[in-house]
Structure 1
Amino acid sequence: PLQKKAKTDRRSLAFGPFLADLDGRLVTGANGTVIDMAKSEFDVLEVFLTRANRLLTRAAISEAIGFTEDPESSRAVDIRIMRLRKKIEADPANPKFLRTVRGEGYIFSLPTGDGN
């Protein structure tokens, strides 16, 4: 759920120990630690956060971040996702948030409030 903070009127979203400020393009972790991200990594994260719990193909991600659709951009998406996992997943090999759906794409899983 996208939240607006009243006093700053910024769009932000919490996931796990992280808070993503979509307008300020900043991600903070536990204790307010800033997570250093390249522009392209934040772009990919924003695509996932604004489309959480939905399957996204590489082509849809490429289009959303302005990449041309070719084999090179498909690989570029994979590389950014790999880098992003290293920054936001406790165990990048077994991701909790940014999961691969083999042969189809990726899903960014956010809790739905039902305990899962």
Structure 2
Amino acid sequence: MANVPNILVVEDDRETRTLIAKYLRTNSCNVTTAADGREMEKVMADTRVDLLILDVMLPGEDGLSLCRKVRAESQLPIIMLTARGEDVDRILGLEMGADDYLPKPFNPRELLARINAVLRRQATALNASATPNATALSFAGWQIDLRLRELRNPQGARVAMTSAEFDLLRAFVERSGRVLSRDSLLDLTQGRSAGSFERSIDVLVSRIRRKIEVDPQDAQMIKTVRSGGYMFTPTVEAVATATTN
């Protein structure tokens, strides 16, 4: 039972909330539900949550604001449920730090697939964090630890990153000097089965630039290639590093 994930579903529509909870419970998940942000916060204060499913449209504080608050305090995996394919909601959700999104109406099987994919990435990160003598790559004074899944700035401070941000930065660093199309970046990081769209890459690039570029508006490390995609420009070197705290 230790491997059964505890999932919190925050959805104000009772029928949708009940449908999601029933389907996930029949597929080996522990599920708690909440109808709004206040109920969500109460559950999270009393219960361990492994993944949060968060609707955008909620009474009171909306899902985007709640996502931003949760992400500011933890790396808890978050899947956003958005209105009928609204790209604006999807992009905003990614910008607020969501790990994935799913437009309504959706097939519960697809939601379960998204949950499993996000939890696998989380498990990989947790397992890697216990591995000593991790191999790392350095660029422009920065260091990215591929096993600990950590990014440290030139001063040695750890920089918070979501799983999706780390996966994309790793794809860039491991292919420095190559032009990478949005399609190829989707394949390298999220996979076609995730049903992702190209704009999600642009959103993640923007978020990474804000963390590593001196001037995100005049990016020098992750260059935009017109009609091509992106290119990571710094020289990258492999280094061996001891486990860091």
Normalised TM-score (structure 2): 0.40
Structure 2 regions of 5+ residues with no counterpart? 1-131, 237-245
What's the counterpart of residue 102 of structure 1?
A: 226
Once residues 159 and 149 of structure 2 are traced to their aligned partners in structure 1, the CA distance between those partners, rounded to angstroms, is: 11
Size of the alignment, in residue pairs?
105
What's the CA shift for 1:66? 2.1
State the 1:107 CA deviation: 0.3
Q: Distance in 2 between matches of 1:29 and 1:46?
A: 15
Q: Is the 8 A contact 2:137 2:144 kept in 1?
A: yes
Partner of residue 200, structure 2: 76
One-letter amino acid of the structure 1 residue matched with residue 183 of structure 2: A
Residue in 2 that maps onto 1:60: 184
State the Cα distance separating 1:73 from its structure 2 match: 1.6
* Structure with bigger gyration radius: 2
Q: For residue 34 of structure 1, what is the amino acid of its counterpart?
A: R
Map 1:1-116 → 2, pairs under 5 A? 8-68=132-192, 73-111=197-235
Which residue identity lines up with residue 52 of structure 1 in the other structure?
A: S
CA RMSD in angstroms, aligned pairs only = 2.0
Gaps of 5+ in 1: 1-7
Counterparts of 2:167 and 2:228, CA distance in 1: 20
Identity %: 30
Residues 100/70 of structure 1: CA separation in 2 closer, same or farther (3 Å cut): farther
CA distance in 1, matches of 2:151, 2:194: 29
Point out which structure has higher relative CO (alpha carbons under 8 A, 6+ apart): 1
